[in-house]
Each structure stands twice: as structure tokens, then as C-alpha cells.
Amino acid sequence: MLKINNLHARVEDKEILRGINLTVNAGEVHAIMGPNGSGKSTLAAVIAGKEEFEITEGEVYLEGENLDETSPEDRAHKGIFLSFQYPVEIPGVSVTNFMKTAINESRKAKGLDDMPAKDMLKLIREKSEMLEIDRKFLSRSLNEGFSGGEKKRNEIFQMAMLEPKLAILDETDSGLDIDALRIVANGVNKLKSKDNAVIVITHYQRLLEYIVPDFVHVLHNGKIVKSGTKDLALELEEKGYDWLKQETVV
């Protein structure tokens, strides 16, 4: 599904990613952990095609295709979805209208007509029920005045609507209360299949109890310094990152 090869990325003079290698197969869940500022969100943004970051070395492949020249919107059309750590507000644009536009733009890229209003409504109803989102919420301006947790739940609602091949969830758990975490995690699990893949970026083991990863990677200073199974997350929870940082220095 996704293959990242010796990826280096920088912004201005600052090198943030320094040789990332990562392979994610269809049907897998990967967790990425790591201290603040280690480059997790940057990696997510680079996979999504944010041009602010300059790739100096390495490649990102989606289903065997080098994404080098692919615009962010085309990557989205190809099935990459990013749940933002900090979702952006768009005043005056309702969640519904935003989703309608997003879905129809993707359809247009595939040569399809707009989704009929009836189907759109059905989809919205289905997905909002799954994530226990009040329908009134969907007529509000996108993320404007949303609480931290509401923003995150809304990101997963969008993911559910768009049904991506590769979903990257950047700290979707932070800001969610205990019940919301369970609802959102269940939603993600329902969307999981043998044909898609999920990358979860998180600081906490808690989320991984719900969304069980096949692999856990630790990112530090722009590199994956350790990979393991879900037990690695437990170990990190217990020991913190210091021992890994020291290992890298050595």
C-alpha cells in the first residue's frame, strides 16, 4: 500500500525528516509514537503532499506509484486521508457543504457525476449515526467554535464519509473524552478492512487498546529508531523515551 524509502524532508534550513523507511501493507495498522517535535506530523503532512516541506532525498510510493509529482488533492483522490492534529476552521462553510464538495470533487476526478442528493443524505445519516454525531452539528461552520474533541470527532466523520485507502490519524485521541475515544475508535475499526490501512500517530497506549496496531514505530529526531509489536507501546508507556534516545546516541 504505502512504501517510504529513505525519506528526507526539510523546511527552510531545518532538516526534519532524516531518512525514514516504512512499509505499510493493506490490512495493517501501524502506530507511530515519539517525543514532541520528533517529526510525526511532518511525516504525515509529507505523505499527504504538503508542499511547504521540501523533499531532499527519498521517495513515497502509494500502491507502487511514486507520488513525487502528485498534488495533495490528487493524493486525496487516490485514497490518502489525513486526520489533522489541528483541524482548520473555515467560517461560513458548513460541515455538510464541505463534505459534499469534497466527495463530488473526488468523483469528478474519477470521471463520475455528482453524488445524487438522496445518496448523499443517506451517507451522511449513516456515518453520523455511527459516530454518534448530532445532525445539527453538521450544519455548523466547519470547525468554527468546535471544542477540541468535537474537531477530532469531525475529522473521523470526514474519514468515514470519504472511505480512504490509507488513513493517517494524527493525535486523533488527544482532546477526546473517554466515551468519545471509544466511539471514535469503534468507528475506525468498523472502517478497517483487508483492503485499507491505518497509521495512528499517538502519545498514549490507551488508544492502541481500542485500535490494535500490528506494528509500533518510534520516531525520534526525524528517524524511526525502533519498531516492534504492540508490546513496544506498553514498554514506552512504562519507561518513556529516554532509553531510546540514549540508544540512538550510542
Partner 1 sequence: MAYTEEELKKELETKEYEYGFYTDIESDTFPNGLNEEIVIAISKKKEEPEWMTLWRLESFKIWKEMVEPEWANVKYKKPDFQAISYYSAPNKKPKYDSLDEVDPELLDTFKKLGISLDEQKKLAGVAVDIVMDSVSVATTFKKTLAEKGIIFCSISEAIREHPELVKKYLGSVVPQKDNFYAALNSAVFSDGSFCYIPKGVRCPMELSTYFRINQAGTGQFERTLVIADEGSYVSYLEGCTAPSRDENQLHAAVVELIALDDSEIKYSTVQNWFPGNKEGVGGVFNFVTKRGLCEKNAKISWTQVETGSAVTWKYPSCILKGDNSIGEFYSIAVTNNYQQADTGTKMIHLGKNTRSTIISKGISAGKSQNSYRGLVQVNSRADNARNFSQCDSLLMGNECGAHTFPYIEVRNKSAQIEHEATTSKIGEDQIFYCNQRGINTEKAIALIVNGFSKEVLNKLPMEFAVEAQKLLEISLEGSVG
Q: How many CB atoms neighbour CB 92 within 10 A? A: 8
Q: Least distance in Å: CB of 48 to partner 1?
A: 5
Residue (71 or 189) nearer to partner 1, CB: 71
Distance CA 224, CA 38 (A): 10
Site for ligand ATP in 74-113 (CB under 6 A): 85
Q: Which of these ranges, 74-82, 170-178, 224-232, 242-250, lies near partner 1 under the rule CB under 8 A?
A: 74-82
Alpha carbon 168 to chain centroid distance?
2
As given in the structure block, the three cell numbers for residue 104 are 463530488
Distance CA 114, CA 33 (A): 39
Residues 6 or more apart whose Cβ sits within 8 Å of residue 235: 228
CA R_g for the chain: 18
72 touches which of ligand ATP, partner 1, Mg ion, none (CB within 5 to 8 A by kind)?
partner 1
As given in the structure block, the three cell numbers for residue 20 are 525514514
User: Of the candidates 9, 29, 30, 39, which one interacts with ligand ATP according to CB under 6 A?
Assistant: 39
User: Of the candidates 6, 25, 52, 190, which one interacts with partner 1 according to CB under 8 A?
Assistant: 52
Q: Least distance in Å: CB of 122 to Mg ion?
A: 35
**148 contributes a contact to ligand ATP by CB under 6 A:** no
Residues 6 or more apart whose Cβ sits within 8 Å of residue 134: 128
Q: Which residues bind ligand ATP (CB under 6 A)?
A: 11, 14, 16, 34, 36-42, 52, 85
Q: Which residues bind partner 1 (CB under 8 A)?
A: 48-52, 71-73, 75-77, 81-82, 84, 87-93, 97-98, 101-103, 105-106, 109, 141, 158, 162
